[in-house]
Amino acid sequence: MSAKSSRFIELLSSRNHSWVTQLLLLLPSLLLMGIVYLGGLLIFGRYSFDLYENGTLARAWSSHAYRAFLTDPYYWTLIGTTFRIALKVTCWSLLLGYPLAYCIAGLRSPGWRQTLLLITFLPLLVSAVVRSYGWLLLLSRQGFMNWLFIRLGFTDSGFEMMYNETGVVVALVHIFLPFMIFPLLNVLSQSDPYLKAAAHDLGAGKWRTFLTITLPLSARGIASGVQIVFTLCLTAFTTPQLIGGGRVMTLPVFIYQRTLDTNWPMAAVASLFLFAASIAVSLLVNRTAEWLMYRRTVAEGGSR
């Protein structure tokens, strides 16, 4: 072993230079993040000040794209549609995912637990494109869902579930549901079962135990699931493009179209707005969860 190699290993193993070891371990990730994300943001920021007139892109330092994006009602309608779909998908994912995560966390049989976990995890092995095409077949006018609704007598000619928000929300809920279940399952599996047993011993019923013990303890999992699903919905492109068929316009679809049209200033402004909105929503959800847990801690301290 050379002297340089020995010196390098000694530097890494020295307790007095633990920060050097941590920095060297973080360096590849920091370089990748810096080049890919920070570099991309800087490039987008530069393009956002260019001018796009009469189908031609011109280099400039102008705030025209920002003013147009923030003052035109069309873009606010676009933003409203994107956030409305993300909110619907997040709420449905939470309503469907919480009972399933609660059921899996309470299972005592390892076989059933592994089976349900496998069923929950398997859809993640299939790409979103394939799953979106699968929903195209299910939700079309001649698809399985309409065939089932007609046989059950809910309708005579079938529902219109394609090329509208309903179809997009249904498909996105299926695609992002596992991202809500796993954070909830992680928190619910780690909760202390003796707390619920103590509540039962003190006379609390199942609903009161759930509302006062289980639900507050799972607040961190709810916040994590909401953050993940909401931000993924904000940036979802494939499913709104395929299921929406161009009639459901969201910000990612708009960015894609403007990029193809070489209207890069408007695409860059919309991308930066989407990036800032994702960070703002994540911080808001995180702070809200911390505030709720703080209020609960203060209330418990005051009641003692």
What is the C-alpha to C-alpha distance for residues 143 and 70, in angstroms, rounded to an integer?
Answer: 41
Residue 20 has pLDDT above 80, yes or no: no
Q: What is the pTM of this model?
A: 0.84
What is the C-alpha to C-alpha distance for residues 221 and 288, in angstroms, rounded to an integer?
Answer: 13
Question: What are the backbone angles phi and psi of residue 235, rounded to the nearest 5°?
Answer: -105, 10
Q: What is the mean pLDDT of the chain?
A: 86
Residue 3 has pLDDT above 70, yes or no: no
Would you state the structure tokens that stand for residue 144, as one six-digit string? 């399985």
Residue 119 has pLDDT above 90, yes or no: no
Worst-scoring range by mean pLDDT, 20-34, 174-188, 271-285, 289-303? 289-303
Identify the pLDDT of residue 99: 93
With contact defined as beta carbons under 8 Å apart, do 243 and 15 qualify? no
Identify the pLDDT of residue 101: 93
Decide: residue 301, CB within 10 A, 0-12 exposed, 13-18 middle, 19+ buried: exposed
Q: Give the residue with greater pLDDT, 87 vs 286.
A: 87
Mean pLDDT of all residues in 275-296 = 83
Instruction: Tell me which CATH homologous superfamily contains domain 68-293.
Output: MetI-like (1.10.3720.10)
Residue 41 neighbours by CB under 8 Å, 6+ apart: 272, 275
Q: What is the pLDDT of residues 139-173, one digit of tens each?
A: 888 888 888 888 888 888 888 888 889 999 999 99
Identify the pLDDT of residue 162: 84
Residue 85 neighbours by CB under 8 Å, 6+ apart: 165, 168, 169, 172, 233, 240, 248, 250
Q: Give the residue with greater pLDDT, 296 vs 197.
A: 197
Q: How far is CA 156 from the centre of its chain?
A: 37
